[in-house]
A and B are shown apart, each in its own frame.
Chain A
Amino acid sequence: NAGVMQNPRHLVRRRGQEARLRCSPMKGHSHVYWYRQLPEEGLKFMVYLQKENIIDESGMPKERFSAEFPKEGPSILRIQQVVRGDSAAYFCASSPSGGNTEAFFGQGTRLTVV
């Protein structure tokens, strides 16, 4: 059973471009969480999704950021018109239910905006 898979591992975008980050949860997990880690900081919650539903997006910036978790395929975190301040590591976690004790993290996508 492969762990939580995120790709790409590293992503470089120019200011104004779009960034698409993918997360494939562990097999049997239908709950996905996205976190952002700015340099020298801890992880900050962004959004919690179940299949085809956004459950909690209280940590998402109001503009340019969106997330989805379709019925088939990976969860996508999309950042439009990226700015330098979006440079961070983005981590995805998945769990079989809503309990945090069973959440497993991926290796993260490191986004660099130049």
Chain B
Amino acid sequence: GEDVEQSLFLSVREGDSSVINCTYTDSSSTYLYWYKQEPGAGLQLLTYIFSNMDMKQDQRLTVLLNKKDKHLSLRIADTQTGDSAIYFCAESIPAGANNLFFGTGTRLTVIP
């Protein structure tokens, strides 16, 4: 089945950039997503990228997609303590367009 992999933990200092990485196995992905989950809360959609794009920028967030290597990254510029959360990568594929396949999440800790 579809496999979405993320590293479990990342720590950065406040003001630095954070880069969260994700790899996936299904080359037929249509959209790839980044969600943020704060403690005790639901998932907030941060951004998404269509599979025919290489990059998408939205304020402090930059998404890079390397379709050849099936690698997705989320860069957060000027990371703030409020960015501390778990970040999930997810993909949708044509065969399973009704649902998303999530990675295990990367816990980002921002050190003041």
Give the B-binding residues of A (Cβ under 8 A).
Answer: 4, 6, 33, 35, 40-45, 48, 55-56, 58-59, 91, 93, 98, 100-101, 103-108
Structural contact, B98 and A55, CB atoms closer than 8 A: yes
- CB distance A105 to B33 under 8 Å? no
- Residue B99 CB within 8 A of the other chain: yes
Closest to B30 in A: A100
Pick out which of these stretches binds chain A: B43-51, B60-68, B70-78.
B43-51
Q: Which residues of B contact A35 (CB under 8 A)?
A: 100, 102
Residue B53 CB within 8 A of the other chain: no
- The answer to whether B43 touches A91, judged by C-beta atoms less than 8 angstroms apart, is yes
A100 pairs with B42, CB closer than 8 A: no
Q: When the two chains form the complex, which single residue of A43, A101, A107 contacts B48, counting CB atoms closer than 8 Å?
A: A101
Which size class do B's interface residues fall under?
20 to 34
B residues engaging A (CB < 8 A)? 4, 31, 33, 35, 40-45, 48, 88, 90, 92, 96-105
Residues of B within 8 A of A106 (CB): 42
Query: Known contacts A42-B88, A100-B31, A104-B45; is A48 also within 8 Å of B104 by CB?
Result: no
Complex Cα–Cα for A58 and B93 (A): 15
Closest to A34 in B: B99
Q: How far is the CB of A86 from chain B (nearest CB, A)?
A: 19
How far, in angstroms, from A96 to B104 measured CA to CA in the complex?
27
The residue on B at minimum CB distance from A10 is: B40
The listed residue (A40, A41, A48, A108) touching B99 by CB distance below 8 A is A48
- Bound form: Cα–Cα A98–B96 in Å: 11
Partner of A98 from B33, B35, B48, B97 at Cβ < 8 Å? B97
Residues of chain A within 8 A of B99, CB atoms compared: 33, 45, 48, 56, 59, 100
A-B contact pairs, 27 of them (CB 8 A): A4-B42, A33-B98, A41-B104, A42-B88, A42-B103, A42-B105, A43-B100, A45-B98, A45-B99, A48-B98, A48-B99, A56-B98, A58-B96, A93-B43, A98-B98, A100-B33, A100-B92, A100-B97, A100-B99, A100-B100, A101-B48, A103-B100, A104-B45, A105-B35, A107-B41, A108-B41, A108-B42
